[in-house]
Structure 1
Amino acid sequence: MEIDPEENGSVDRLLRRKEAAQYVTATYGFPCSPNTLAKLACVSSDGPPFRMAGRIPLYPQDGLDAWARSKIGPLVRSTSEHARHAA
């Protein structure tokens, strides 16, 4: 079966849950486990977007990037500056 890029905008790399967690950890430097992604998929709308292929969740890489960036705070020079941004 061939994927038509015209049909869905662009073809993005889809990662299984374990690969998605490893990608986030390696790329963004904060720990992310497959269990965390599974829990977020079941009980939260704060997790990264995914598609289902039968019973298998597949995470588009650009969705993981956007989700991970949203979890990282702004660049600051001190903890007091961080507190101001958090409030």
Structure 2
Amino acid sequence: MTVDRLLTVQEVAERLGTGVRFPRRLVEERRITFVKVGRHVRIPEWALEAYVSAHTVQPIALRPSGLGRAA
């Protein structure tokens, strides 16, 4: 079993490019895996990567526009 690094809420916010309120809300709403260490909350790196991967939206391929057609 490998031990993954546990990130603080501040570190998660920095990696996501958000304020600390967003990761705190994810924890409060149980939308991300977290670990309680005493009264501190830590988020495993794998959980953050899984959250980002699950919420990544792939671009759609647009059909070529009909350039040259009259309006």
Q: TM-score, normalised by structure 1?
A: 0.61
Of 1, 9, 14, the residue aligned with 1:17 is 9
Q: Which runs of 4+ in 1 moved over 6 A?
A: none
Of 14, 20, 39, the residue aligned with 1:34 is 20
RCO higher in structure (CA 8 A, sep ≥6):
2
Distance 1:48 1:21 in 2: 13
Partner residue in 1 for 2:59: 75
Distance 1:39 1:20 in 2: 12
Q: TM-score, normalised by structure 2?
A: 0.73
Larger radius of gyration: 2
Q: Larger helix proportion, structure 1 or 2?
A: 1
**5+ unaligned residues in a row in structure 2: which ranges?**
63-71
Of 66, 73, 76, the residue aligned with 2:50 is 66
